[in-house]
Amino acid sequence: MKVLIIMGSESDKPIMEESQKYLQYFGIEGEMVVASAHRHPEQVRELCITAKEKGFGVVIAAAGMAAHLPGVVSAFTSLPVLGVPLEGGLPGGIDALYSIVQMPSGVPVGTLAVGKAGARNAAVLAARMFALTNDAIAAKVEAFKQNGYRI
């Protein structure tokens, strides 16, 4: 399985490359796409409704400010969605954090920390999910743990 990483803006790439770096450590293929829930809603919809058939098992969605992208992604897919709030609005990204974590019942988004820590942890959490059915990834997760949670 692969991980689809969707971000709302090109300027989010330096942060979300942290997810990609950690996924590579665990031996998981990740594909990064810039697609805004506001500027490219049809592209986001298409990515989400075809993700499972394209071999994706988890979607990491990152956005700042109003941060609607993770919630929109969750509405369009039944795959696990991990939301990474990014700074850009209120100090510390608190607006994005609240927007992602406060999803209505039935449309969950697993919400991580703001910024790089959240991007890294989204990849680690995806690896832990895949480790349930993949022994090679499980071994890498255990090695990561034994190394003090560092790659």
Known binding residues for substrate: 9, 12, 39
Residue pointed to by tokens 């019942």: 105
Residue pointed to by tokens 């990474």: 84
Q: How far apart are CA 107 and CA 131, in angstroms?
A: 24
**DSSP codes of every residue in 31-52:** EEEE--TTT-HHHHHHHHHHTT
Q: Which residues, including other chains, have CB under 8 Å from residue 25's CB and lie 6 or more apart?
A: 140, 144, 151
Identify any residues that bridge with 58 across adjacent strands, giving them in sequence order. 3
Q: How far apart are CA 81 and CA 109, in angstroms?
A: 5
Feature table: binding site: 9, 12, 39
